[in-house]
């Protein structure tokens, strides 16, 4: 990328230290280096980029409307008209607008600019150089570039589905605007990957001398040649005096050979998110390294169904410990406690589960709806059909949670008089029961989870070992799982809470859930015959009796009034 690098320096007011050069990086692609036999002191300014050289959703529009960047008035009028017309199409797309972000807009803008170039429309030279000679030649190795592979082995991560959805809708929108022959899906994928991996979050003051600021997702020419390292030797910041973006050395740099300049891309490294964003795994691992192991939804249908009804993220977070040089289950979060809920043991029999699934939960929903809306007993067959199909659609759909009240799972408890009772509970109530368990029963619950998780590790290793192609993420996950499997087999400690150390970083969030299924309309659902037609009186009796098994729910039915 030496050609665009030199062009940008020559045609902008970017300052680059005389001892900094570009070259091929061992970390991947191109990088910036300090010349050999040169000494750079700590806190030396290596790079300074004026704010007008940064590329974000605001400055792109400024570039396009700058008449000095065109050869003729006709060119600017034509380019802006087409660009703005395409933006209006984007704003009218009901799917794309749901996922709109500065990054998505940057991807869309550059895909549009690439097509304008191909169609021989004039665009500002900086944008043309950036899309053609930077974005489209950036080396990428992520989920967008290999959709089939990652849909096969990482479909439990919503990022994979969102990326494919965005690529498909961006392609369709641009085809509708420019025609099929003008649009190349592979170029869209490449621009998507390049923009995602090269953007930085740059703080910007809302007002001068004000502590409040906003974050702009920005592509910064020259600075975005800096590669990531877990042990960086420089850092980027914003000069509040003039809003220039600067890069300065963290310590003195002196070496006989060229030394690559590196920055750190994040403070906490959750490896799946990092890979989905940047296309590589950051190494070496340290105490800020995590792996969100989202469970394959096909492994255990019963647990998947349980977590759906209780809106629980089906992810086991793993944490690396630098001192122990191995991975642990992060059991120090509230989300881990939620994962333990289906493994709770019965108070009278630790071999048995405390949970029972109600396959006729739709009868309870029908009863609530009917009794709250004066339908007793009126039009119940249609209403029951509606709830029966809605429940089954959401249970069997690809979504990660159910948009109905939790009425499918009942929890066994022991009354003070020794009587065993079952009641349907909320997630919060279930957590209260978990927290109230004795240490002995809690340990039984933990061991049941660990037995299940050990089976999952074996299942997942077998799946990944059959992968049609190795990627850095697959290799990384296999290494982690084999490490955990070895510890389980030798009965070594696998939980992070047992390590007597104080962590200095916050735990990263879990991956977003898979998208909820859209509810179909009652009119459509009523057309499906499910074989439950009875007289209204007979059906009302059945439904009412079913719902009354769980008297604790009858007080909570107001939400079903319409």
- Tell me: the pLDDT tens digits for 45-82? 999 999 999 999 999 999 999 999 999 999 999 999 99
pLDDT value at residue 414: 64
Phi first, then psi: give them for residue 414, nearest 5 degrees.
-110, 120
Q: Is 377 exposed, middle or buried (0-12, 13-18, 19+ CB in 10 A)?
A: middle
pLDDT value at residue 384: 84
| Number of C-beta neighbours around residue 226 at 10 A | 24
Sign of CA dihedral 546, 548, 552, 555: positive
Closest C-alpha among 270, 261, 347 to residue 505 = 270
For residue 293, the cross-strand partners are 316
- CA 125: distance to chain centroid? 34
| Number of C-beta neighbours around residue 11 at 10 A | 12
Contact present, 445 and 379 (Cβ < 8 Å): no
Q: Is 540 exposed, middle or buried (0-12, 13-18, 19+ CB in 10 A)?
A: buried
Strands 30-34 and 345-346: unpaired
- Tell me: the pLDDT tens digits for 464-519? 999 878 789 999 999 999 999 998 888 778 998 887 665 667 888 888 887 644 43
For each of the domains in the chain, give its residue range(s) and CATH number, in order of start.
13-52+220-265 (2.170.270.10), 55-198 (no CATH)
pLDDT, tens digit only, all 562 positions of the chain: 788 899 999 999 999 999 999 999 888 788 999 988 888 999 999 999 999 999 999 999 999 999 999 999 999 999 999 999 999 999 999 888 888 899 999 999 999 999 999 999 999 999 999 999 999 998 876 778 888 899 999 999 999 988 999 999 999 999 999 999 999 999 999 999 999 989 988 877 666 655 656 788 899 999 999 999 989 999 999 988 888 999 999 999 888 788 999 999 888 899 999 999 888 898 889 989 999 999 999 999 999 999 999 999 999 999 999 888 999 999 999 899 999 999 998 767 777 788 999 988 888 888 877 777 665 555 677 888 888 998 998 998 888 888 888 989 999 876 655 566 778 889 999 999 999 888 888 888 999 999 999 999 999 999 999 987 878 999 999 999 999 999 888 877 899 888 766 566 788 888 888 764 443 333 433 333 333 444 555 555 655 665 555 545 544 444 444 4
């Amino acid at each position: 990328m030496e050609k665009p690098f030199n062009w940008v320096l020559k045609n902008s007011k970017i300052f680059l230290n005389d001892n900094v050069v570009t070259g091929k990086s061992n970390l991947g692609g191109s990088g910036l280096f300090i010349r050999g036999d040169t000494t750079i002191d700590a806190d030396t300014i290596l790079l300074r980029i004026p704010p007008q050289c940064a590329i974000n959703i605001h400055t792109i529009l400024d570039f396009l409307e700058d008449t000095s960047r065109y050869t003729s008035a006709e060119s600017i009028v034509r380019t802006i008209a087409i660009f703005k017309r395409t933006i209006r199409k984007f704003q009218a797309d009901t799917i794309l607008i749901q996922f709109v972000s500065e990054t998505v807009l940057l991807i869309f803008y550059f895909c549009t600019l690439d097509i304008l170039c191909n169609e021989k429309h004039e665009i500002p030279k900086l944008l043309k150089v950036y899309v053609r000679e930077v974005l489209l030649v950036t080396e990428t190795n992520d989920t967008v570039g290999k959709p089939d592979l990652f849909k096969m082995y990482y479909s439990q991560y919503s990022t994979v589905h969102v990326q494919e959805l965005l690529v498909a809708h961006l392609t369709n929108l641009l085809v509708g605007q420019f025609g099929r022959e003008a649009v190349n899906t592979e170029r869209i994928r490449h621009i998507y990957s390049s923009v995602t991996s090269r953007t930085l979050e740059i703080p910007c003051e809302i007002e001068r001398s004000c502590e409040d600021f906003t974050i702009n997702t920005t592509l910064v020419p020259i600075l975005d040649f800096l590669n990531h390292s877990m042990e960086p030797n420089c850092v980027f910041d914003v000069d509040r005096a003039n809003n220039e973006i600067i890069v300065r050395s963290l310590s003195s740099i002196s070496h006989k050979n060229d030394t690559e300049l590196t920055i750190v891309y994040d403070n906490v490294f959750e490896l799946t998110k990092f890979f989905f964003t940047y296309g590589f795994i950051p190494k070496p691992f340290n105490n800020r390294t995590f792996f969100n192991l989202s469970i394959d939804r096909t492994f255990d249908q019963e647990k998947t169904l349980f977590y759906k009804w209780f809106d629980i993220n089906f992810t086991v977070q793993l944490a690396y410990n630098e001192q122990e040089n191995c991975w642990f289950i992060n059991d120090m979060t509230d989300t881990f406690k939620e994962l333990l809920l289906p493994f709770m043991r019965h108070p009278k029999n630790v071999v048995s589960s405390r949970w029972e699934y109600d396959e006729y939960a739709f009868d309870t929903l029908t009863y609530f709806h009917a009794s709250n809306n004066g339908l007793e007993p009126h039009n119940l067959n249609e209403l029951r059909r509606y709830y029966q199909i809605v429940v089954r659609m959401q249970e069997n759909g690809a979504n990660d949670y159910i948009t109905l009240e939790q009425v499918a799972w009942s929890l066994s408890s022991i009354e003070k008089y020794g009587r065993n009772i079952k009641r349907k509970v909320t997630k919060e109530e279930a957590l209260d029961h978990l927290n109230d368990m004795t240490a002995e029963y809690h340990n039984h619950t933990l061991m049941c989870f660990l037995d299940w998780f050990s089976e999952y590790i074996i299942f997942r290793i077998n799946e990944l070992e059959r992968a049609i192609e190795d990627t850095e993420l697959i290799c990384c996950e296999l290494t982690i799982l084999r490490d955990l499997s070895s510890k389980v087999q030798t009965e070594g400690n696998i939980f992070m809470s047992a390590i007597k150390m104080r962590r200095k970083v916050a735990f990263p969030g879990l991956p977003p859930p898979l998208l909820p299924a859209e509810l179909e309309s009652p009119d459509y659902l009523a057309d499906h015959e499910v074989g439950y037609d009875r007289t209204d009186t007979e059906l009302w009796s059945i439904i009412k009796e079913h719902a009354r098994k769980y008297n604790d729910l009858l007080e909570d039915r107001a939400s079903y009034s319409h």
